[in-house]
Amino acid sequence: MFLILKLMDCDLDTYVNKVSKETLNLDIIKDILRKILSGLEYLHDTNIIHRDLKPKNILVNYINKDDLEVRIGDFGWSKLCSIVQKPNTRNLSN
């Protein structure tokens, strides 16, 4: 099975190393994180677990200096979960 993604400018690792510290302000960082978490929420809602999330697998497209298109890539280790699993944590308050 193949997954075709839009051609993107770079990955998050390259972007962070390429831009100046003034450009990478707190608002941009929060926006990138919000977009990554939104993508993860969508994947989890469709029962897909990525299992290899790292800066090299987050793709970035420059729209303008204050707005980036962010996508999750490299689904080689991803897994489709067909059953709902209980969390591996337990309530320690009892």
Domain boundaries, given as residue ranges, for the chain: 10-80
Q: Residue 65: is its pLDDT beyond 80?
A: no
Strands, E assignment, 1-94: 10-11, 48-49, 58-64, 67-72, 79-80
Catalytic residue among 11, 13, 31, 52: 52
pLDDT for res 29: 92
pTM here is 0.75
pLDDT for res 78: 67
- C-alpha span between 23 and 75 (Å, rounded): 30
Q: How confident is the model over 67-84, as pLDDT tens digits? A: 899 998 876 656 667 655
CATH architecture of 10-80: Orthogonal Bundle (1.10)
Instruction: Let me know if 45 is a catalytic residue.
Output: no
Query: Is residue 12 within 8 Å of residue 71, measured between CB atoms?
Result: no
Q: How confident is the model over 7-62, as pLDDT tens digits? A: 889 999 999 999 888 888 899 999 999 999 999 888 888 888 887 889 999 999 98
pLDDT for res 58: 93
Mapped onto helix, strand or coil, the DSSP state of residue 24 is coil
